Amino acid sequence: MGVPKILGIETEYGIAGGPDADPTLASSLIVNAYAQHGQSRVTWDFVDESPDNDARGYFHDGAFAPVIETHLANTVLTNGARLYVDHAHPEYSSPECRSPREAVLYDQAGEEIMRRAQLVANQTLDDAHQIRLYKNNSDGKGNSYGTHENYLVARQVEFADVVRAMVPHFVSRQVIVGAGKVGSETDGARGFDHDFQLSARAEFFEEVVGLETT
């Protein structure tokens, strides 16, 4: 029997508001509204965070500005999940899960949490500035954002072996469970007639492996 692996899902939600809405401020309103409504008093500790470390053995000094993570709305929920602003998106990060079923359950809980957060936040706004959240991966205007997965892998496994095993899985599963989307958004594909794509994000990828998750 294999060793049980810890896994989880992070989802950046698409967000839209009025014509003059600031997505970062709107995302902060979503997170803070739920934190205050849910009486959350726990924040995220960044002491052990090191986003500049690359799993391939590199260190990218200054690749990410600390202010992007540490100075935006951020809270830990009572179910162990994290709700925060990632750049200009509200993001729900599930707690560590012990099975695929558990990961799906917590992901579904995240949808309900975001629905409630939207409801509470909109109670403070007039009709012209209501916020709408979308569980998608692109905005139709050439911007892509992520649904991220996390897997616990034994340290002794060579990273090249992880790439060889995971890339075919990530590519082939789009045929089975890809969300798909209508049309195309990238400059390289706009000259072609793409009525429908199996993957919502494939056209945005520029490299197989990289430090950035989106």
What's the DSSP call for residue 53? B
Which of 20, 45, 86, 107 is an active site residue? 86
Active site residue 86: yes
Q: How many CB atoms lie within 10 A of CB 47?
A: 4
- Residues 43, 78, 100, 88, CA torsion sign: negative
Give whole-number Cα distances, 167 to 91, 94, 206, in Å.
24, 23, 14
Give whole-number Cα distances, 159 to 38, 61, 70, 71, 169, in Å.
40, 21, 29, 32, 16
Parallel/antiparallel/unpaired status of strands 132-134 and 89-93: unpaired
Query: What CA dihedral angle connects 24, 89, 145 and 185, to 10 degrees?
Result: -50
- Active-site positions? 86
